[in-house]
Amino acid sequence: MTAVLQIIFDALSLGSLYALGALGIALIFGVMRLVNFAHGDFIAFCVFAMLWPSIDATAVVFAGMLPFYLLIPLLLIIGAALSILSEIIVFRRFRNANPATMMIASFALGFVIRHLLLMLYSSRPKSITLWPGLGLPVDFLGAHIPMLQVVTIVITLAALAVLVLFLKRTRYGLEMRAAADNFTMARMLGVRANGVILLAFAISGMLAAAIGLILATISGTADINMGANVMLIAFIATVIGGLGSVPGAVAGGFIIGAASVVFQATLPHDARVFRDAFVYGAVIVVLLVRPQGLFAPKSAKQRV
């Protein structure tokens, strides 16, 4: 029983991380058909923003020293600002380009951000300690669950709830969903293209900052490549969920998280090192059966 609980919490917390990442990608894909591969580097940038630029091995924590009620909003603002700047400086020029061109532009932007961090901080991973108290376990029905896992899950659920409320209940959320459905039609109804896209980038950037905070707390390190792995899996999650579908992205994130954890727990010992191969194998099977993704909205198809 306790082992099962442990697995459930592992799956939920890992899934949360992927779901937050997938959401950041799905929102932008929805409004401008851009798969933003720089998203992972946004995550790394937000983590390094807590450190003072230096190439020493020991990190000089700077903004990271702030109390959480200042640090969290600050990082969210940094994430949103970076994301908005990327749209204004880079992606706006590619607005009418084909999706492959936009994707390559996002790769290029990702490299620029990564190498900027490399110049300022060197390639050595740095240790960074945020909120050590979160590493302590809490007892839950006999299982020892790290506090951080609980916090990750709660943060993700709260972020999801806020996002759903925003998308369903506010005028701007409605406009964003309309624009994701049919961008030109939304504009012909007076929805401002730049406004919707900037909003999507801002939210996506804040999600990147949230992932950065969680990752830095879990791993205790700041690594230039730390966002790339999450980004890759989050992208796969959006594809499994059905590209462009917001609920699909969240579900895809949790499914991949759960698959990783379950394979880790149930595969024979010798096979565990190949866990990712099993996860990606499952992804291939899913896509063979449903190439459009699990949650591609049926209602979105045109009826004639």
Q: Which residues bind another protein (CB under 8 A)?
A: 171, 174-175, 177-178, 181-182, 184-193, 297-304
Give Cβ neighbours of residue 253 (< 8 Å, ≥ 6 apart).
15, 16, 17, 18, 19, 20, 21, 22, 23, 234, 237, 241
Question: Considering beta carbons, is residue 5 or 294 the nearer one to another protein?
Answer: 294
Least distance in angstroms from the C-beta of 193 to another protein: 6
Q: Which of 57, 65, 63 is nearest to 75 (CA)?
A: 63
Question: Considering beta carbons, is residue 144 or 168 the nearer one to another protein?
Answer: 168
Question: Considering beta carbons, is residue 98 or 302 the nearer one to another protein?
Answer: 302
Least distance in angstroms from the C-beta of 303 to another protein: 6
Question: According to the 3-state scheme, what is the secondary structure of 199-229?
Answer: HHHHHHHHHHHHHHHHHHHHHCEECCCHHHH
Give Cβ neighbours of residue 240 (< 8 Å, ≥ 6 apart).
248, 252, 255, 256, 283, 286, 287, 293, 294
Say how far apart CA 218 and CA 208 lie, in whole Å. Answer: 15
In which residue are the tokens 């490299």 written? Answer: 111
Question: Considering beta carbons, is residue 95 or 144 the nearer one to another protein?
Answer: 95
Least distance in angstroms from the C-beta of 191 to another protein: 6
Least distance in angstroms from the C-beta of 300 to another protein: 4
Question: Considering beta carbons, is residue 75 or 191 the nearer one to another protein?
Answer: 191
Q: What's the DSSP call for residue 242?
A: -
Question: Considering beta carbons, is residue 80 or 167 the nearer one to another protein?
Answer: 167
Least distance in angstroms from the C-beta of 129 to another protein: 44
Question: Considering beta carbons, is residue 269 or 303 the nearer one to another protein?
Answer: 303
HSE, side-chain direction, 13 A CA sphere, residue 46: 35
Say how far apart CA 36 and CA 40 lie, in whole Å. Answer: 9
Report the DSSP pairing between strands 60-61 and 51-52: antiparallel
Question: Considering beta carbons, is residue 26 or 224 the nearer one to another protein?
Answer: 26
Say how far apart CA 214 and CA 71 lie, in whole Å. Answer: 13
Least distance in angstroms from the C-beta of 293 to another protein: 14
Least distance in angstroms from the C-beta of 174 to another protein: 6
Q: Which of 90, 92, 80 is nearest to 202 (CA)?
A: 80
Least distance in angstroms from the C-beta of 245 to another protein: 8
Amino acid at 41: D
